[in-house]
Chain A
């Protein structure tokens, strides 16, 4: 039986443990700079005199001091890494506009500086919804910039739809924009191509190489996909091309993988037994690393001329772990500093002045996300949300840092440009192998 003394000891021990945990968290946050979600301070400049016309607009309503554009990103928590990229990129884009006085709004006949309102949802999906609601209803932003990843963008988008605020997202899965094959809302847009496009681009690349005799015909595909909307999109893309190119491909294995799977040997044996010679896989990074590990373990890494993990394969974690056994894996991305676009070089230089973070695709996506939205606001000539929505729908933005250098939105609010397909090569390097107009090298089958 515990004595009263023992109970007091328990209370003291509990208090000590709680204090230690709180202290540890406090120490962590005080040693790592946590960017405060402050809005961008408009740089005071003399507003540029707008072009004088005989019909200069004479605003009859008060001119807002700033254009409020909001974003809820993960500045702390699980996705903090991506949130830091997005916030920095948004700020960079806004600062560049504000240096010239802001965005010219025709309705007011003058330039108005941007006020970025960036809030931290701490990688919490419930919090993200509340903060987006706050931005839309209390702060009354005219537009929303993307959150960090589909798990956060998806709930945010429901608020944007309800509050009728134009929302430019960075999602690659159609579930955010579409429902039953139809567009959910004219207020939702995505500036990234959907994952099924990557699947189709991969298949186009493989078809080219089948025609060249580099790969066998038919190419026997093992199509492995995560059991999520993302994986289903990937699967759809694969099958669309199988049907488009009769005789080129044969899907010999078509299996889903549950998130969190750790053992893949029976599946890999099934793939071997089916005689597949192309592994087309779309699963998450952790599962991918387990699967690749077991692929290597079974001694069959070099037997498949084609291995792709979709948009995965270039991660430092993967390359460091598998080294030469990750060579010749192909993967897709939107951005590469190897693209011969002058705007990319310029962006990298400007980015390095404002951030120590290495330039990864999140930086480019964040920057272009903001830039496209700011252009849409200018094209709207108004701070009316519906007019901004319409302007975004009709806009054509040049000199973007993605393949094709141009973005415009279709009737579903989606964009269309090819993915870059990259192949890992020895010494930790990569080469762009698709699309043909941007490729640096040709595809090399594994084992050749």
Chain B
């Protein structure tokens, strides 16, 4: 019976939930680390990726996994252009205005999605070739979750390698830590910021595309994920990939356990209370020195 494997089932849920949360947060964490503001356009990029994957599947039969790969150059150019053309100049003048601009772009994107796709939710999860259930230790899990977990591992690994084992990654981290010092070392910090924003956009959009294997999408699709990503980013301490993973696991654990043992409707309150406590005790985040 399902109930006999309750703890195990909750544990599996925790694993899958944590990996999903980490995947959805990478983009925001990277951009936050570089720009020092919360990217409120993150939801827009997730929504963009979701509709991109949905459209390619419906009209061309292209799997969301493949769509997420096709999305990489497109999302990168989009993010790079937005930062280069709109944000870079504004960021040097006023961070508050940058935030407002990001919010304005998000509203435009959302309203465009409403015009084109309407508010009706769209779902393709059950139509995918790997939309079947498997039993892991007696607990039924959709294979899509395995796919998402595998994507998380691959993307985490790739992002870690990019940020920690490449010159570009060093430049990004250096710019994030001390822009002036990085520029003295010959780093073109303006270009690095553009690139980092592009990479952050890729990560967010890829998550949106991959999320269609499980979730329905609508023009408000990214909003819920954005709030969670914000909490995790702040908990992690911005731009720390390891921090994002650990913070995601914290939130995943809380939601898995609290969702069962406490009132389900209080989950968000519990999550935000954790954020409050961490901000009071360690405002720089758990993994930032």
B55 at interface, CB cutoff 8 A: no
Decide: A262 near B224, CB < 8 A? Known: A2-B190, A14-B86: yes
Q: 11 other contacts beyond A81-B120, A273-B6, with CB at 8 A cut-off?
A: A2-B190, A14-B86, A78-B119, A257-B265, A260-B220, A263-B17, A267-B264, A285-B121, A299-B133, A317-B120, A321-B124
Q: Which 10 A-B pairs have the closest CB atoms?
A: A266-B259, A256-B265, A299-B140, A297-B142, A260-B224, A286-B121, A266-B260, A289-B216, A13-B85, A255-B264
Chain B, 77-88, contact with A by CB distance < 8 Å: what is the 0/1 string?
000010011101
B1-44 at interface with A (beta carbon < 8 Å) = 2-3, 6, 9-10, 13, 17
Distance A7 CA – B84 CA, assembled complex (angstroms): 11
Binary per-residue interface labels of chain A (121-148) against chain B in the complex, 1 for a CB within 8 Å, 0 otherwise: 0010000000000000000000000000
Contact call B220/A289, Cβ cutoff below 8 A: no
B140 touches A265 (CB 8 A): no
Q: How far is the CA of A42 from the CA of B126 in the complex (A)?
A: 51
Do B122 and A317 have beta carbons less than 8 Å apart? yes
Shortest beta-carbon distance, A447 to chain B, in Å?
15
* Interface 1/0 per residue, B96-136 and A, CB below 8 Å: 00000000000010001011101111111111000001000
Is B218 touching A286 in the complex (CB atoms < 8 A)?
yes
Is B214 positioned at the interface, with any CB of A under 8 Å from its CB?
yes
Contacting B at CB under 8 A, from A321-358, are: 321-323, 325
CB-CB under 8 A for A267 and B259, given A258-B265, A298-B140, A321-B125: yes
B240 interface hit (Cβ, 8 Å): no
Whether A270 is near chain B, meaning CB under 8 Å from some CB there, is yes
Q: Looking at the complex, which one of A13, A79, A317 makes contact with B123 (CB distance below 8 Å)?
A: A317
Q: Chain B contacts of A293 at CB under 8 A?
A: 123, 125-126, 214-216
- Residues facing B in A275-325 (CB within 8 A) are 285-286, 289-290, 293, 296-300, 317, 321-323, 325
Interface majority SS (helix, strand, loop, mixed), chain B: helix
**Are B10 and A266 in contact, with the CB atoms below 8 A?**
yes
A-B contact pairs, 18 of them (CB 8 A): A10-B84, A10-B89, A21-B112, A28-B115, A77-B115, A256-B263, A260-B223, A262-B224, A265-B259, A266-B258, A270-B259, A285-B121, A286-B218, A289-B216, A293-B123, A296-B133, A297-B133, A299-B140
A80 at the interface (CB under 8 A from B): yes
Set of chain A residues within 8 Å of B125, measured between Cβ atoms: 293, 321
**Cβ contact of A258, chosen from B3, B122, B268, cutoff 8 A:** B268
B interface, size bucket = 35 or more
Flag whether A17 is at the interface (Cβ < 8 A): yes
Question: With the chains together, A255 CA to B265 CA distance in Å?
Answer: 7
State whether B2 touches A300 (Cβ < 8 A). yes
| Residues from chain A with Cβ under 8 Å of B140 in the complex | 297-299
Contact between B6 and A321, CB atoms less than 8 A apart: no
**A56 lies within 8 A of chain B by Cβ:** no
A299 to B132, CA, bound (A): 10
One of A13, A270, A296 near B264 (C-beta < 8 A)? A270
B233 at the interface (CB under 8 A from A): no
> Known: A10-B85, A269-B2, A322-B126. Contact between A256 and B260, CB under 8 A?
no
Which residues in B have some Cβ–Cβ distance to A below 8 Å? 2-3, 6, 9-10, 13, 17, 81, 84-86, 88-89, 108, 112, 114-116, 118-127, 133, 140-142, 145, 190, 214-216, 218-220, 223-225, 255-260, 263-265, 267-268
With A260-B224, A293-B125, A317-B120 given, is the CB distance from A78 to B190 under 8 Å?
no
A41 contacts the other chain (CB 8 A): no
Smallest distance from the beta carbon of A313 to chain B beta carbons, Å?
14
Q: Is the pair A227, B256 in contact by a Cβ cutoff of 8 Å?
A: no
Given contacts A260-B220, A286-B218, A298-B2, whether A269 and B10 have CB atoms under 8 Å apart is yes
Expressed in whole angstroms, the Cα–Cα distance for A325 and B84 within the complex equals 48
Whether the Cβ atoms of A14 and B264 lie closer than 8 Å is: no
Q: How many residues of A contact B (CB 8 A)?
A: 47
Interface set of A (CB-CB < 8 Å, partner B): 2, 7, 10, 13-14, 17, 21, 24-25, 28, 77-81, 123, 227, 255-258, 260-263, 265-267, 269-270, 272-273, 285-286, 289-290, 293, 296-300, 317, 321-323, 325
Chain B positions within 8 Å of A17 at CB level: 85
Give, as a whole number of angstroms, the nearest-CB distance from B244 to chain A: 18
Please name all residues of chain B whose beta carbon is closer than 8 Å to the beta carbon of A258 when the two chains form the complex: 265, 267-268
CB-CB < 8 A to B223: which residues of A?
260
Question: What are the residues of chain A within 8 A of B258 when measuring CB–CB?
Answer: 266
Q: B278: shortest Cβ distance to chain A, in Å?
A: 22
B89 cross-chain contacts in A, Cβ below 8 A: 2, 7, 10
Partner among B2, B3, B121, B190 whose Cβ is within 8 Å of the Cβ of A317: B121
Q: Is the CB of A266 within 8 A of B255?
A: yes
Contact B142 A266, beta carbon cutoff 8 Å:
no
B-chain residues with CB within 8 Å of residue A28 when the two chains form the complex: 115-116
Q: Which B residues are CB-close (under 8 A) to A321?
A: 123-127, 216
Q: Are A289 and B2 in contact (CB under 8 A)?
A: no
- Give the interface centre of B13, B121, B219, B256 by most chain A CB atoms within 10 Å: B121
What is the CA–CA distance of A17 and B108 in the complex, to the nearest angstrom?
12
Contact partners of A263 in chain B: CB under 8 A:
13, 17, 255, 259
Look across to chain B and name the residue whose beta carbon is closest to the beta carbon of A13: B85
Please report the C-alpha to C-alpha distance between residue A261 and residue B255 in the assembled complex, in whole angstroms: 12
Is there contact, CB below 8 Å, between B264 and A269? no
Residues of B within 8 A of A25 (CB): 112, 115
List, in ascending order, chain A residues with CB within 8 A of B116's CB.
Answer: 28
- Report Cα–Cα, A273/B1, bound state, in Å: 10
Give the residues in chain B near A297, CB-CB below 8 Å. Answer: 133, 140-142, 145
